[in-house]
Amino acid sequence: MIKKLIGTIALSLTCAVSVAAEGGYALEKAPVRINDMASLQNGAKLFVNYCLGCHSAKSLRYNRLTDIGLTEEQIKRNLLFTGEGVGDLMEIAMRKEDATKWFGTAPPDVSVIARAKSTNLGPSGVDYIYTFLRTFYRDASRPMGWDNLVFPSVGMPHALWQLQGERTMERTTVAQVELDDGSTQWQRTVARYDAQGFAEVNTETLQGYSGSASDKVVFTPADPKASAQFDSQVADLANFLGWMAEPVQLERKRLGVWVLLFLFLFFGVAWRLNAVYWKDVK
Ligand code: HEC
């Protein structure tokens, strides 16, 4: 029984590792700010201003935002623009058919996107969103003028580009390619994207290369300070989407501390009781 259990656990661990290995661009760890009300409030503000135009969040009513420390008055004054009431769901006016026409695919409802994108033992959905929103790059050859490292050929434009500021990108990939005669050859490709998204691509053959395939990306922001501030803003936004996917988590964690404390105290009591019960038997 125990052996079987260990076998199952080992199996699920190996699965998790192989998925992570083939999962494309490595996700970065988002700063953990789930107990930081100022961060959640900032995330809510960013979400309403920059995302709610395209994405609904239909599992959430505006007045639920009182859970992250906003008053109904603040919600009304700062987050409602088009005559919704505080009891309304976070819906959008865009029609699905129009959205599909404009973006090739309709923007998904993001109520539980952080949960949908989380992996069992690997990166969380918050890590996914944090990395996704920070890896848009200008690519003039794409219909929207943008592409994304985490989600190649994504239909979404970089909604936060003004906050991030201009960047150039250099991507170096080393890969084995198959030639017409069936033989293989290692090649290094360096693609430099300027701030407008025009790419200069150079490919060279690597003779006698014995390393492995790799993919390295370096961003150079025009304004490093603005870019660092942007990272922090995105951390707040990802944090908010993480909260939205499970609003009760704040309550659950608050309760959890008390439950653990209770178990700890109870352990002490049970242990002493046990000693008392057995005192005369021995
Ligand atoms: C102009 C419309 C538009 C705006 C604004 C927008 N999105 Fe999107 N978003 C889309 C579309 C369209 C897709 C679907 C992309 C696809 O499947 O190719 C998408 C997909 C996503 C996804 C899912 C990605 C995945 O891997 O499946 C996330 C997460 C997301 N958006 C978050 C955001 C956040 C956060 C904001 C606010 C900063 C935002 N979006 C603003 C149009 C938009």
Q: Rounded CA gap, 220 and 169, in Å?
A: 6
* Distance of CA 106 from the midpoint of ligand 1 (Å): 9
Whole-angstrom Cα distance, residue 187 to residue 105? 34
For residue 258, the CA-to-ligand 1 centroid distance in Å is 38
User: Residue 15: what pLDDT?
Assistant: 42
Best residue among 42, 46, 48, 54 to mutate for probing ligand 1, ranked by most atoms within 8 Å of CB: 54
Distance 201 CA to ligand 1 centre (A): 28
pLDDT score of 206: 94
Work out the burial of residue 43: count CB atoms within 10 Å of its CB; fewer than 13 is exposed, 13-18 middle, 19 or more buried.
buried
Ligand 1, residues 51, 55, 103, 240: which to mutate, most atoms within 8 A of Cβ? 55
- Written as one letter, the residue type at 170 is E
The rounded average pLDDT for each run of 10 residues, N- to C-terminus, in the chain (282 residues) is: 58 44 78 95 96 93 94 92 87 87 91 92 95 97 94 95 95 93 94 96 94 94 95 97 93 91 96 92 76
Q: Rounded to the nearest 5 degrees, what angle is found at the Cα of 249, between the Cα atoms of 246 and 255?
A: 155
Establish whether residue 154 lines the binding site of ligand 1, counting it when its CB lies within 6 angstroms of any ligand atom. Answer: yes
Query: Is the Cβ–Cβ distance between 206 and 174 less than 8 Å?
Result: yes
